[in-house]
Structure 1
Amino acid sequence: MSVKAKYQGVLDLGQELNIQNGNVEEVDGILKVSGTAGTQYEKNLMWDKIKEVGGELPQDIEADIKVADETVFHRHMVASGDTLGKIAKKYYGKAGEYHAIFKANGDILDNPDVIHPGQELVIPHLS
């Protein structure tokens, strides 16, 4: 199996996330991947996928993934059934971090229990 075939799931995820300026080449058995993710969250997803395929310290891939918007961790489009707690759980692993999202979106949110489908929320970096 070629290294490119081994990491095809990573390449597919890059397409799904619309990684910009992407470049993929195989050199001497090492897959060299580069590109720009929209946010840190998307970059983290790419690294998680690389580790899922190649292990914690993969030796057969080199990835240079930059981030286009470093001012936020991610931007989330509210869907039906979302709550700030569910959103916090998705991005931070802890529902209790919802307050950080509420605070970062004070310009559009008045109540942490009231969000609406279609709102775009800033998901801030946790300090």
Structure 2
Amino acid sequence: MSAKSKYQPVLELGEKLNIQDGNVSEENGVLKIKGTAKTQYEKNILWDKIKEIGGQNPSDIKANISVADESVYHRHTVKSGETLGKIAKHYYGNPSKYHDIFKANSDILKNPDLIYPDQELIIPNL
């Protein structure tokens, strides 16, 4: 199995995330990928997929993924039924980090219990 075939789910995820300036090549059984993710969160998702397939230190892939917007961890569009606690748990693994999200969005949020679908929230770097 070629490295490109093995890591096809990573390439598909890159397309889904709309990774910019992408470049993929295979040389001597090593897949080389390069591109720019919108945020650190999206870069982390790609690395998680690489590790899921190749283990913690895969030797058959070299990835050079940069981040276009380092000022935020991610930008999140609120969906119906979400709370800041649920959003914090998703991004940070800890619902009590909702305070950090609330503070980062104090220009549009006046109450941490009142968020609405389609609002775009900044998920700050911690």
Structure-1-length-normalised TM-score: 0.99
What is the CA–CA distance in structure 2 between the aligned matches of 1:4 and 1:118, rounded to whole Å? 37
Cα distance in 1 for residues equivalent to 2:3 and 2:11: 11
Amino acid of the structure 2 residue aligned with 1:44: N
User: Equivalent residue for 1:95?
Assistant: 95
1:72 CA drift (Å): 0.2
1:15 & 1:93 partners in 2: Cα distance?
Answer: 26
Identity of aligned residues (%): 67
Q: 2:35 aligned with 1:74, yes or no?
A: no
Residue number in structure 2 paired with 1:44: 44
| Cα separation, 2, equivalents of 1:118 and 1:75 | 12
Q: Report deviation, 1:106.
A: 0.2
> Which 5+ residue runs of structure 1 have no aligned equivalent?
none
- 1:1-127 aligned at under 5 Å gives the runs 1-126=1-126
Displacement over 2 Å in runs of 4+: none
Q: Distance in 2 between matches of 1:53 and 1:81?
A: 33
SS of the residue aligned with 1:70? coil
Please state how far the C-alpha of 1:38 moved relative to its aligned partner: 0.1
**C-alpha distance in structure 1 between counterparts of 2:108 and 2:45, whole Å:** 27
Report the AA paired with residue 96 of structure 2.
G
The Cα of 1:123 is off from its aligned counterpart by 0.2
**Please, what is the CA RMSD of the aligned residues?**
0.3
Where in structure 2 are there 5+ consecutive unaligned residues? none
Q: Which amino acid aligns with 1:84?
A: L
Following TM superposition, by how much is the alpha carbon of 1:85 offset from its aligned partner in structure 2, in angstroms? 0.4
Letter of the aligned partner of 2:56 in structure 1?
Answer: E
State the Cα distance separating 1:20 from its structure 2 match: 0.2
Code of the aligned partner of 1:41:
Y
How many residues are matched? 126
Amino acid at match of 2:43: K
